[in-house]
Structure 1
Amino acid sequence: MAENLSRRSFIQNLGVGIGTTAAAFAIPSIVSIPESKPKYEGRKLGIALVGLGSYAKNQLAVGLEKTTNCYLAGIVTGTPAKAEEWMKKYNIPKKNVYNYQNFDQIADNKDIDIVYVVLPNSMHPEFVIRAAKAGKHVMCEKPMANTVEECQEMIKACKDAGVQLGVGYRMHFEPFTKEVIRMSREKVFGDLRFIQSNFGFRIGDPTQWRLKKAMAGGGPLMDVGIYCVQAARYVTGKEPLAVTAQFGPITDPERFKDVEESVSWQFDFPDAVTVNGFTSYKTNIEQLFITADKGFMHLSPAYSYGPIKGRTSQGDLHLPVVHHQANMLEAICKEFLETKQFPPHISGEEGLKDARILSAIYEAAGNGKKIKLV
């Protein structure tokens, strides 16, 4: 794959040509795609995207065109040309367009219920806190922040303001992932024994913010390695007890002068479950492999925008292929409209747990010691 392939294009291209197979799947409870859905006539939540980079443009905005209970109501950008482009494309009124200086005026906008922060990692705390003070519920891309302390400040600000805080854990709503979680926790193949989780890609533009520690908080671990950390947690339904880790070799000193090129880690989990993880900015790899006493589960691709593909020791998984961001936003807004709460499994507290684990991986890789997590 070309050296200058971007994260987004790699993730998108990874799924090209992957389809479901014709073999029947033996495990019950697989849901089929409904032929049609009843027309939604309830309240629709207005969402404002803060930051109009590639993820907002190519994933969230596209997803919001597919949702029924929420819509793209506003945007926040520092680029006037982008503002004009988005206003025309999505029919956004000028009163719902903000920049980073006048963002706080969003407090007076009744069209906007949820602010979704899609900025570089280092900017998450500022805009989550500002959104909370403006009285808006907040979704934030992962990782939630670069440090544990920042996560705690964000959680406190949202609690003090009485608003919901969620993290964009889209895999929690993806059908293949949900089925693997179900099979793992219900012990369909017996007790879990070993999990291998890998996610890496060959990063492109050497000047991008992901290669600057001050903005990204780290390298591939913060960017895509967090998916592997999350997978271990949602598959087991438990928290790691301890971690050891190792930085990989630096093969491109100029590109990786500020962040790691790759890192591997090993978790000790309750019930004698061992987890190995690996992430890299120089290797195209993506899989989640789970072994249990009586079989295995395997997703590959496991974390990209899809289609996700899976199989088990009983055969291929046949599940609906969904637009991840649309599926996530639809589910989050459905729960909020019914309960006034975001789903607890995507809460700020969950983002804080990940931040603590990521910090421990860096510490373990740096000093060569096993770091206790509980």
Structure 2
Amino acid sequence: MKNRRSFLKTTGLALAASTLPLPHFAYGNPQMKLGVALLGLGGYATNNLAPALMQTKHIELRGIVTGSPEKIPVWQEKYGIKDQNIYSYETLPEIANNEDIDVVYIVTPTFLHKKYAVMAANAGKHVFCEKPMAMTVSECQEIIDACKKNNVRLAIGYRMQHEQNTQTIINWAEINPYGALQNVHTEAGFRIGSSGGWRLDGAKGGGAIYDMGVYPINAMRYATGLEPISLTASHETQRPNLFLNGAPEITYFDLEFPNGITAKGRVTYADNVNFLKVNCADGNYELAPFQSYNGVSGSTSDGKYLAPCECNQQAIQMDDDALAIMNDKPMIAPGIEGLRDIQIVEAALASGRNNGERIALKQY
């Protein structure tokens, strides 16, 4: 282990750090794949992203960035990762000189997203950043600015926006097949226990509103096709000894949208819930569950059934984002998408601390 740690700290290539290599692939060539390094080898990277990368057509796993040297041989054996494509958090800047790696996917706890997304962008690599994008709007903007400055692309890991039934809901917000939209109701959450780790700590992006809040918030936005103009919120913690640094166990929030449209949401660490309901002038429709890794399905007031897709959401997401890079097309979920949700998370936290104060939302 000591030798492995020493290797991580000393790995470097001969090119000067100030020069950024050209991508090794030819954009638009369907025979080529982007290479991605996963930064952070926790549960989501291990159990979801890495297996999904075995199914992707346009991007493949070529590297890892980890602070846990003991994980390295396991990943190398399972995925055939070269020694020269292994980095620690400290040696991440050296990835600038590695032509095998085109994308760095940030999969750390939320409070570390900004730090490593900016480092990856400064190394000249495209950035995929897991949601929630960052802790604050200002951190989100720093990531966006770093990617723009370094002329690299940025995608936020909103896998649901790549999923077929969710895309139907997004389309219906534009064409209004059930008449003018009136209101939305959505809730998401699960019962967390003492093994929740950083998710129990408000200083690290914990609490239901930080960790799970972007699901119902993003759903409200894509289900209406609009940006909210104000918000009120309240918090509840049924197990105060479980949560640290002001992390709320449950948050209720109400959003106002243009045209008199309203949305009611709840995000919770106290019980299992997972639905999105949209009420319109001439009918309604829903997805339940709306944000599961599989089985997303729905129904409409006139009897339509939105059958679940037998597919890997993460594979579709990463392929879509890779193709956007290769073909110079817009990302489905760019950085501004993550920033807008974090604005609402911040407002919900503030409103709840101030007895449900109504907070006006800036239009980005």
Residue 365 of structure 1: aligned partner: 352
Tell me, yes or no, if the aligned pair for 1:117 and 1:139 is still in contact at 8 Å: yes
Q: 1:211 and 2:175 equivalent?
A: no
Q: Secondary structure at the match of 1:162?
A: coil
Q: 1:244 and 2:232 equivalent?
A: yes
The one-letter amino acid paired with 1:366 is R
Give the C-alpha shift of residue 85 in structure 1.
0.4
Per mean C-alpha deviation after superposition, the further-off stretch among 318-327 and 308-317 is 318-327
2:320 to 315, 322, 331: 331
Q: Secondary structure at the match of 2:213?
A: helix
1:353 to 340, 347, 354: 340
CA RMSD of superposed structures (Å): 1.4
Give the C-alpha shift of residue 209 in structure 1.
0.7
The number of residues matched between the two structures is 331
1:256 to 217, 233, 243: 243
1:342/1:80 CA distance change after superposition, 3 Å: farther
For residues 6-26 of structure 1, the C-alpha deviation after alignment (integer angstroms, 9 at most, x for no partner) is: xxxxxxxxxxxxxxxxxxxxx
1:92 to 81, 86, 92: 81
Q: Secondary structure at the match of 1:202?
A: coil
Tell me, yes or no, if the aligned pair for 1:164 and 1:342 is still in contact at 8 Å: no
Give the C-alpha shift of residue 184 in structure 1.
2.7
Q: 1:167 and 2:169 equivalent?
A: no
Residue 104 of structure 1: aligned partner: 93
The one-letter amino acid paired with 1:363 is A
Per mean C-alpha deviation after superposition, the further-off stretch among 62-71 and 175-184 is 175-184
Q: Secondary structure at the match of 1:282?
A: coil
Give the C-alpha shift of residue 41 in structure 1.
4.7
1:79 to 52, 68, 73: 68
The one-letter amino acid paired with 2:57 is T
1:156-235 pair list within 5 angstroms? 156-206=145-195, 208-216=197-205, 218-235=206-223
The one-letter amino acid paired with 2:338 is G
Residue 51 of structure 2: aligned partner: 62
Q: Secondary structure at the match of 1:46?
A: strand
Larger relative contact order (CA 8 Å, sep ≥ 6): 1
TM-score, normalised via structure 2 length: 0.88
Q: Secondary structure at the match of 1:264?
A: strand
Give the C-alpha shift of residue 81 in structure 1.
1.8
1:282 to 267, 270, 273: 270
For residues 175-222 of structure 1, the C-alpha deviation after alignment (integer angstroms, 9 at most, x for no partner) is: 111111212321010111110010010012346011112211x41111
The one-letter amino acid paired with 2:190 is F
The one-letter amino acid paired with 2:132 is P
CA distance in 2, matches of 1:233, 1:207: 28
CA distance in 1, matches of 2:98, 2:181: 49
Give the C-alpha shift of residue 257 in structure 1.
3.8
CA distance in 2, matches of 1:322, 1:236: 26
1:89-168 pair list within 5 angstroms? 89-168=78-157
1:274-313 pair list within 5 angstroms? 274-313=262-301
The one-letter amino acid paired with 2:95 is I
1:342/1:123 CA distance change after superposition, 3 Å: farther
Give the C-alpha shift of residue 99 in structure 1.
0.9
CA distance in 2, matches of 1:133, 1:169: 23
Residue 49 of structure 1: aligned partner: 38
For residues 327-353 of structure 1, the C-alpha deviation after alignment (integer angstroms, 9 at most, x for no partner) is: 1011111122111x551x411122111
CA distance in 2, matches of 1:89, 1:212: 33
For residues 210-260 of structure 1, the C-alpha deviation after alignment (integer angstroms, 9 at most, x for no partner) is: 1112211x4111111211000011111110011011112x22121024310
The one-letter amino acid paired with 1:198 is E
Give the C-alpha shift of residue 319 in structure 1.
5.2
The one-letter amino acid paired with 2:125 is K
1:227/1:141 CA distance change after superposition, 3 Å: same
The list of structure 1 runs, each at least 4 consecutive aligned residues, that deviate by more than 4 angstroms after superposition, is none
Give the C-alpha shift of residue 75 in structure 1.
0.5
Residue 18 of structure 2: aligned partner: none
Q: Secondary structure at the match of 1:283?
A: coil
TM-score, normalised via structure 1 length: 0.86
Q: Secondary structure at the match of 1:279?
A: strand
Gaps of 5+ in 2: 1-28
Residue 33 of structure 1: aligned partner: none
Gaps of 5+ in 1: 1-39
